[in-house]
Structure formats: C-alpha cells, structure tokens
C-alpha cells in the first residue's frame, strides 16, 4: 500500500497526472455548499466534485436529470468560496452539452466564468466527442465519465453494474482511449467490473477515478452524503460508510426539541 509522497499546496490537473505516475492514489469527494466544502478541503481531499448528484441529495429528485445549469453554478460558486487546496470539478448537467458543441462550450464557459471552478465533467464517450473537443479547445480542462452514467438512466433502465459483456467493455476501453487522446485530464469509471477498471487504468496515462469500479482505479470518489451516512436508504456494495450521521443528527435534533419543550433551552447562561 503506498501513502502520500508529495505535499500539494494547490491541486491542479497536472498534479493528478503526477500522482498517478508516482503511484499515489487520488481522493475525490462531492460537495455542494460552502460549509461542507470547507471541511472537505481542510481534510485534504484532492478533488472536490460539484456533482449533479446535487439533484438527488440536495434537491430530492429521483434522478440527476432535472438539475439546471444555473443551479450547478450556484452550488459550484458556494464551493469555490470555501476552497484553498482542492481542484474543483463541476458536472455539466443533463441537456447542457449533448445537443451541439457550441452549446456545450457556452455551458462550460458559464460554469468557469460564473462560479470560478477549475474544470468540468461530462458523461459519455464517442457520442459527445465533438463537444469535448470544443470545450478543450477553449482551454477548459475536461474530465470524462464512463460506465454507469446516471444522466442516461432512462436508456439503461437500472443502476446495475455496466460493461459486464465484452462488447460494452470494448466500447468503454475505446471511449477511454479517445477521451485521453482528445486531452481529458482524468476519467470517472462508475460501477464497472474491477478487472475492466484495471485494464483501462493500465492503458491510460491520465488517472481513472472509480466509484464502484474497484481497487485498481487511480483514485476513488464517493458522494459525501453517502460516506457520512446521511443517505441511509442507499446501500450499494461499493459504499463504505464512515459515520451514521442520519442517526446522530436525528438524535441531536430530538434532544434539542425535548430541551425546548421542557424549557431547558435556553438556560440562564444562554440568554442576554
């Protein structure tokens, strides 16, 4: 097991490639607001993803599809105000980059200009090649996302493991090579077999970041609400919970309610 080798005062897209070369695993976590991003950044997470999973965990939607570009910019600018060290990557939301490359570029520029983010992430391979090229040509760093791509959930029909069959695995490898060749600085691999993650990670010089992709990815990402145990009904095999905040927060809030009801809060020391 290798441990951190070099201190990064500020993580850049280049730092991530260096980390892969040095065999240092990359840590990535989502954040969507200022207070959480401050904690995540202080804990030295390398990459903060302002994911469109905000649609689920912040807004309560069933899928990531409803979140808008304006809402992503709002979340991203809140995160950016908190950051001193991490690289901040923002998801381009569904509908903001798939229809044509010019619109993709306009959306990416809005994210960069209005939030101050450092990079964008897009889902898909060959289908979005021209959009990725256009964004990269403007000097905006792009991260890819292959395997289970939640913005296409209605095409897949389920959230089960992707690319178990040879043809889908081969397409994923080709897409990953294409994204690297275009100039992407990293690729998220979501819910694919560990052996396939190994093959892809060995073929690329840019880092792979796994979520349900097993231990061979060059880094790992989780949704922070899942890691902290705030989303207690979501139980995929790949998730490791480090806390049970759903219960702990619930208990703290119940205590507060009781204290108010029995007129224990505020006490004499807690008033002016």
As a three-state string, the secondary structure of the chain is CCCCCCCCCCCCHHHHHHHHHHCCCEEEEECCCHHHHHHHHHCCCCEEEECCCHHHHCCCCCCCCCCCHHHHHHHHHHHHCCCCCCEEEEECCCCCCCCCHHHHHHHHHHHHHHHCCCEEECCCCHHHHHHHHHHHHCCCCEEEEEECCHHHHHHHCCCCCCCCCHHHHHHHHHHHHHHHHHCCCEEEEECCCHHHHHHHHHHCCCCEEEECCCCCCCEEEECHHHHCCCCCCCCCCCCCCCCCHHHHHHHHHHHHHHHHHCCCCCCHHHCC
> Among the candidate windows 13-21, 45-53, 68-76, 126-134, which touches ligand KIV by CB under 6 A?
45-53
> Among the candidate windows 50-58, 126-134, 176-184, 244-252, which touches ligand KIV by CB under 6 A?
50-58
Residue selected from 161, 211, 217, 228 as contacting ligand KIV according to rule CB under 6 A: 211
User: Which lies closer to ligand KIV via its Cβ, residue 173 or residue 210?
Assistant: 210
Number of residues forming the site for ligand KIV (CB under 6 A): 11
Residues 78-117 that bind ligand KIV (CB under 6 A): 91
**Shortest distance, CB of residue 266 to ligand KIV, whole angstroms?**
39
- Residues in a beta bridge with 186: 143
Residue selected from 13, 20, 27, 30 as contacting ligand KIV according to rule CB under 6 A: 30
Residues 52-71 that bind ligand KIV (CB under 6 A): 52-53
**Shortest distance, CB of residue 269 to ligand KIV, whole angstroms?**
43
User: Which lies closer to ligand KIV via its Cβ, residue 92 or residue 112?
Assistant: 92
User: Which lies closer to ligand KIV via its Cβ, residue 24 or residue 190?
Assistant: 190
**Shortest distance, CB of residue 107 to ligand KIV, whole angstroms?**
16
Residues 219-258 that bind ligand KIV (CB under 6 A): 221, 223
CB atoms closer than 10 angstroms to residue 239: 15
> Among the candidate windows 4-12, 51-59, 153-161, 192-200, which touches ligand KIV by CB under 6 A?
51-59
62 is annotated as an active-site residue? no
Residue selected from 51, 93, 186, 229 as contacting ligand KIV according to rule CB under 6 A: 51
Q: Which of 190, 202, 233, 270 is catalytic?
A: 190
Neighbouring residues of 204: CB distance < 8 A, sequence distance ≥ 6: 176, 177, 180, 187
Q: What is the largest CA-CA distance in the chain?
A: 70
Q: How far apart are CA 129 and CA 109, in angstroms?
A: 18
> Among the candidate windows 37-45, 46-54, 166-174, 232-240, which touches ligand KIV by CB under 6 A?
46-54
**Shortest distance, CB of residue 9 to ligand KIV, whole angstroms?**
25
**Shortest distance, CB of residue 183 to ligand KIV, whole angstroms?**
20
Query: Do residues 186 and 144 lie in contact, with contact meaning Cβ atoms separated by under 8 Å?
Result: yes
Give me the active site residues, please: 190
State the residues that interact with ligand KIV by CB under 6 A: 30, 49, 51-53, 91, 188, 190, 211, 221, 223
């Amino acid at each position: 097991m290798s441990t951190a080798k070099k201190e990064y005062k500020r993580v850049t897209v280049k730092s991530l490639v260096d980390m892969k070369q040095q065999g240092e695993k990359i840590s990535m976590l989502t954040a969507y607001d200022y207070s959480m991003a401050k904690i995540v950044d202080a804990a030295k997470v390398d990459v903060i993803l302002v994911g469109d999973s905000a649609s689920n965990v912040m807004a309560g939607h069933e899928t990531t599809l409803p979140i808008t570009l304006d809402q992503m910019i709002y979340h991203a600018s809140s995160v950016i105000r908190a950051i001193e060290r991490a690289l901040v990557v923002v998801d381009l939301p569904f509908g903001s980059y798939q229809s044509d490359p010019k619109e993709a570029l306009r959306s990416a520029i809005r994210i960069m200009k209005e939030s101050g983010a450092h990079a964008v992430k897009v889902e898909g391979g060959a289908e979005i090649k021209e959009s990725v090229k256009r964004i990269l040509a403007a000097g905006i760093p792009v991260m890819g996302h292959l395997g289970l791509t939640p913005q296409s959930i209605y095409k897949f029909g389920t959230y089960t493991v992707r690319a178990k069959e040879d043809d889908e695995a081969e397409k994923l490898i080709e897409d990953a090579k294409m994204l690297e060749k275009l100039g992407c600085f990293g690729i998220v691999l979501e819910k694919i077999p560990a052996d396939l993650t190994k093959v892809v990670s060995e073929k690329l010089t840019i880092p792979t970041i796994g979520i349900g992709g097993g231990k061979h990815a060059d880094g790992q990402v989780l949704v922070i609400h899942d890691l902290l145990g705030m989303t207690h009904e979501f139980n995929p095999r790949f998730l490791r919970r480090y806390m049970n905040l759903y219960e702990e927060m619930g208990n703290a809030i119940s205590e507060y309610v009781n204290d108010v009801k029995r007129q224990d809060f505020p006490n004499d020391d807690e008033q002016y």
